Amino acid sequence: RVWIGIGQPQPAWRISAFLDGEHLGSWQTGMLGVPVFEADLTRLGPGSHRLRVVRNINWGLEITELVIEGAGTMGLYYADIPETFEPNEPYRVRGFSLGENELNLRLKDALSEQILYDVNILPGPADVQIPPSALQSCAIGAFSAQPTDGGRPVSEKDLVRAFRREEYEGKTVQMVIITPDKSVFRYRRSSILACAQACSRRNVNWVALYHTDVTPENLTYLLRRPTVRYVYWCGDGNSHIGRTPEQDEKDIGGTARTNLSCWKRIERTWLPDTWESSRAFSWTRQTSSNCEVLPDSWDERGFDLWTIGMHNTVSKWIVFIDCCRSAVSEVDGVPDMARSFGIGESGNKNQVYIGWRAKIASTLSGSREVLSPRNHIKYAAKINPGITLFWEKMGEGCTIFNALQATTEYEDVSGGERALAIWGFNLKMDLFVSEDDDYRCDTLQVWGDGVNNVLGNSN
């Protein structure tokens, strides 16, 4: 895998990328700064590959190309390694093994590290089908291909159980883990796995929505359930929509409305259905005719979380929107996204909303800075271990307050950088300091009075 970031020497309203003629993705640059994505070279052959970038600019198209050198002549190439697996179907891996040694294909449960399937393949074509029974109890797996002589893995991939609503009919779901962005999932992997492990330790029934399973239909199906008390959403987000990349970097311009990445399924008559990248908003004019009009027709084509009806309930006790600037836009002192989840609307004080007041690094090639309201903090890479620690403490039965407090404690430079990245230059968790004091120096914001909630034991 290689990570690619596309800069913008010329303003462009849309950027598309192609690798050896295959479409990798397109991005509306009003919602993103520098698009960062990954390319899986195992799907191609060895050697060099050609990346083509197409920018839609005011007067036409601008096309640039770049040659990417391959990793070598060992490994699994021309490979088809799905990133999701169906609950009751074989998981099939196909490809061509180059080199002289056998390759070991291994599938593990990412949460328990238990080996679910293990097989060696000879050089040449490979077609391995892993039976459904091996994945029956697995929610998140980890696939690897490694030379049997002990060399480093030449192919690695995370895979998540595909969400099928019929699996959850009549079953209780208490936590929904939402990860719409593949690149964010890979970078924030330890935080996401720690959240799932915390749920398992606390006997909280959880389900993951991954990538294109994060659709308005699936979100509505799960979040409307009164048994869903906890939500962890880890992906791309922003406090404004309609900004240019330059405005986004300076945190100016655009329309204030918290929005998160999601997907929309496009049904086609003669071709297989496809998915289109979309945005989920705290609310739009679909439900509030008095709110400011969103640019680029987002009022019509975006997903309005207010339509789920959570704002009329008090069922959500812990909502952690682990996305950039998810706690910046406020209405009457309450984050707009918190209101869409019913926190701050109904007067229940036993609820907590956690979000970021900053643009945080969410991919391996993302910004190395956290843009704090007060200062620039150059330790964004430490956010991931900090949030991982938070979920580990929640899994031990700590309260939200004590779990967050643990991220401020440190004995070495690394721990200090972690605290700095999350809590700002004073390294303190200023939850109960007034806005006139140092409250805004916290990069992470915690809103609500339910800080003594315990995972699996809220009331």
| pLDDT tens-digit series, residues 170-182 | 999 999 999 999 8
- pLDDT at site 249: 66
- pLDDT at site 74: 55
Q: How far apart, in whole angstroms, are the C-alpha atoms of residue 122 and residue 107?
A: 18
- pLDDT at site 371: 36
| Better pLDDT: 101 or 36 | 101
What is the pLDDT averaged over residues 425-429?
A: 67
- pLDDT at site 272: 81
Q: How far apart, in whole angstroms, are the C-alpha atoms of residue 310 and residue 353?
A: 14
DSSP 203-270: T--EEEEEGGG--HHHHHHHHT-TT--EEEEES-EEEEES--HHHHHHT-SSEEEEEEEEEEEE--SS
Considering Cα of 364, then 367, then 373, then 375, what sign does the dihedral take?
Answer: positive
| Better pLDDT: 223 or 64 | 223
- pLDDT at site 375: 33
| Better pLDDT: 451 or 3 | 451
Q: How far apart, in whole angstroms, are the C-alpha atoms of residue 336 and residue 50?
A: 43
- pLDDT at site 29: 53
3-state SS of 362-384 is CCCCCCCCEECCCCEECCHHHHH
Contacting residues for 228 by C-beta, under 8 A, at least 6 apart: 173, 174, 175, 176, 222, 315, 316
Convert the pLDDT of each residue in 134-156 to its tens digit: 999 999 999 988 888 776 666 77
**Burial category of 153 from C-beta neighbours within 10 Å (exposed 0-12, middle 13-18, buried 19 and up):** middle
| Better pLDDT: 160 or 32 | 160
Average pLDDT across the chain, whole number: 82
- Cα radius of gyration rounded to whole Å, the chain: 22
What is the pLDDT averaged over residues 421-429?
A: 72
- pLDDT at site 246: 66
Is pLDDT at 33 greater than 60 in this prediction? Answer: no
| Better pLDDT: 299 or 29 | 299
Phi-psi region of 38 (alpha: psi -120 to 50; beta: other; left: phi over 0): beta
Q: How far is CA 232 from the centre of its chain?
A: 10
- Most confident listed range (34-48, 197-211, 401-415): 197-211
Q: Helices 383-395 & 413-423, crossing angle to 10 degrees?
A: 90
> Exposure pattern of 427-440 as b/e (b: 16+ CB <10 Å)?
bebbbeeeeeeeeb
Is pLDDT at 28 greater than 70 in this prediction? Answer: no
Is pLDDT at 345 greater than 50 in this prediction? Answer: yes
What percent of the chain lies above the pLDDT cut of 90? 43
Q: Helices 383-395 & 189-201, crossing angle to 10 degrees?
A: 10
| Better pLDDT: 263 or 436 | 263
Is pLDDT at 53 greater than 50 in this prediction? Answer: yes
- pLDDT at site 216: 97
Convert the pLDDT of each residue in 363-389 to its tens digit: 333 333 333 333 333 455 678 888 999
> Residue 182 belongs to what H/E stretch?
helix 182-187
Please answer whether residues 5 and 30 qualify as being in contact, where contact means their C-beta atoms are separated by less than 8 angstroms: no
- pLDDT at site 338: 94
What percent of the chain lies above the pLDDT cut of 70? 78
User: Mean pLDDT lowest for which of 191-195, 300-304, 365-369, 425-429?
Assistant: 365-369
What is the pLDDT averaged over residues 126-140?
A: 93
| Better pLDDT: 243 or 26 | 243
Convert the pLDDT of each residue in 308-326 to its tens digit: 999 888 889 999 999 988 9
Q: How far apart, in whole angstroms, are the C-alpha atoms of residue 339 and residue 331?
A: 9
Among 378, 280, 366, 360, smallest CA distance to 38 is for 366
Q: How far apart, in whole angstroms, are the C-alpha atoms of residue 351 and residue 339?
A: 11
